[in-house]
Amino acid sequence: MARMWAQLPMGRVVRLGGASSKDVMLALEPLPDDAPAIVTYSPPSASSVSELVTALLAELERAAIELFPSWLPDAEGITGSGGASIPAVRALALRTASASRHFGPFLADLAELSLHGGTRGRSDHRKFPPEVRAAGLARVLAAGFRRDRAAILIRIPRGLSPIGEDVLVAASEWLADRGGFGVWLTGAPFVSVDRIETVVLDLPASQNPPGTGALAYPKDPLAILRFPAVAGMPHPASRAEKSLEAALKSRPWAAGRAWNQTHHYSSPLTPSVRIDLLWHDERCAVEIDGPEHRGEDAYEADRRRDVRLQLDGYAVLRFTNKQIMNEMDLVLKQLERFLESRRSGTFKGSHHA
């Protein structure tokens, strides 16, 4: 898998063959260390290339704002949207750009916009030409995931007209050329467009057996553009994860936690998994389940993950988004009681919240 993602072309558009769209999505998480940052995009209907490019740039910008401050080192302590915060974050962005491939004015404006949560200055930020935004966002997304490249996996919808196919491919070619993205297409076959090279993936059935994991990047199932978690922080698109972290910050008993860590099973034949929240010393894995976990396939996948983690010595606690958002005090009490029992040596079995 690592060789596969690392060897797919950058700065070009290719169609992925040899595997279903679902298997391709399953193979995305967790990403190997040498893979580019990969976001997935389900394109809306568009009547022109410029319309689709504009929509995709807006989604990429939204993702960059949600990922802030992961792409701007040392910005964690800068909060608020007034006073000295704006000059501070702009100065930090300019310093970062001076020692990197980032374009300073673009990075500074994006940092200021992110500090506002994307609610102010958006029209001013778009003073940059689309080419500058595309290249700048590619660098920002790569930096946010601590990678040196970024790719877009586009899911081709069924039933596209010949014009729709041409618009999608032309917009993809523009993103690859102007932004430097790898643009990889999966999903429904093209009927009329035949100028895109097909790269056959080697994804044997055993690579993703039934129940190895839920669909990749599931935090917001309604999102047009989805992106993976960043190791060490709550998923930027998950209100539940961010709310739980905000509540845990002030609890001394919550020390030692780590968000979105990749766990490599003791068996080399078992695919790695990403754990939402982990206390490694206490061997405690916490999974936060959104609506995408309700389906039969996802439920089976979760149970298989739980068993494998338990065989590796972890206890698995599962909470739903609804529990965290509506019953935070109860969730915190359960976590505290469980962790303290682990630390005192009184824990005697597995636990599902």
pLDDT tens figures, 253-266:
999 999 999 888 77
| Residue 18 falls inside a structural domain | yes
- Give the pLDDT confidence score for residue 290 in this predicted structure: 76
What string of DSSP letters covers 18-45?
A: SS-HHHHHHTTSSPPTTSPEEEEE-PPP
What string of DSSP letters covers 276-324?
A: EEEETTTTEEEEEE-GGG-SHHHHHHHHHHHHHHHHTT-EEEEEEHHHH
- 280 and 183 both lie in a single domain: no
| Residue 215 falls inside a structural domain | no
- 175 and 253 both lie in a single domain: no
CB 292 within 8 A of CB 221: yes
- 103 and 168 both lie in a single domain: yes
- 56 and 121 both lie in a single domain: yes
Chosen domain end from 140, 174, 207: 207
- Give the pLDDT confidence score for residue 72 in this predicted structure: 94
- 201 and 263 both lie in a single domain: no
CB 143 within 8 A of CB 135: no
Q: Which H or E run includes 163?
A: helix 162-174
| Residue 109 falls inside a structural domain | yes
| Residue 216 falls inside a structural domain | no
| Residue 222 falls inside a structural domain | no
Chosen domain end from 175, 207, 239: 207
How distant, in Å, are the alpha carbons of 1, 14, 33, 200, 205 from that of 18? 14, 13, 23, 5, 11
- 180 and 285 both lie in a single domain: no
Domain that residue 260 falls in = 229-344
The one-letter amino acid at 8: L
- 120 and 184 both lie in a single domain: yes
Q: Please give the tally of structural domains in the chain.
A: 2
Cα-only R_g, the chain = 21
Decide: residue 211, CB within 10 A, 0-12 exposed, 13-18 middle, 19+ buried. Answer: middle
Q: Which residues of the chain have pLDDT under 70?
A: 1-3, 80-83, 118-126, 203-223, 291-298, 346-353
Kindly report the pTM of this predicted structure: 0.81
Strand runs (DSSP E) across the chain, as ranges?
A: 13-17, 37-41, 150-156, 182-187, 197-200, 225-226, 257-263, 273-279, 284-289, 315-320
- Give the pLDDT confidence score for residue 164 in this predicted structure: 95
- 17 and 85 both lie in a single domain: yes
Q: Measured on CA atoms in the order 30, 54, 12, 73, is the torsion positive or negative?
A: negative
- 69 and 200 both lie in a single domain: yes
| Residue 349 falls inside a structural domain | no
Paired tokens of 289: 């389940």
**Between helices 104-115 and 130-144, what is the axis angle to 10°?**
70
- Give the pLDDT confidence score for residue 303 in this predicted structure: 84
- 252 and 155 both lie in a single domain: no
| Residue 212 falls inside a structural domain | no
| Residue 272 falls inside a structural domain | yes
- 27 and 94 both lie in a single domain: yes
Q: What is the CATH number of the domain that holds 276?
A: 3.40.960.10
- Give the pLDDT confidence score for residue 126 in this predicted structure: 63
- 167 and 258 both lie in a single domain: no
CB 288 within 8 A of CB 277: yes
Decide: residue 47, CB within 10 A, 0-12 exposed, 13-18 middle, 19+ buried. Answer: exposed
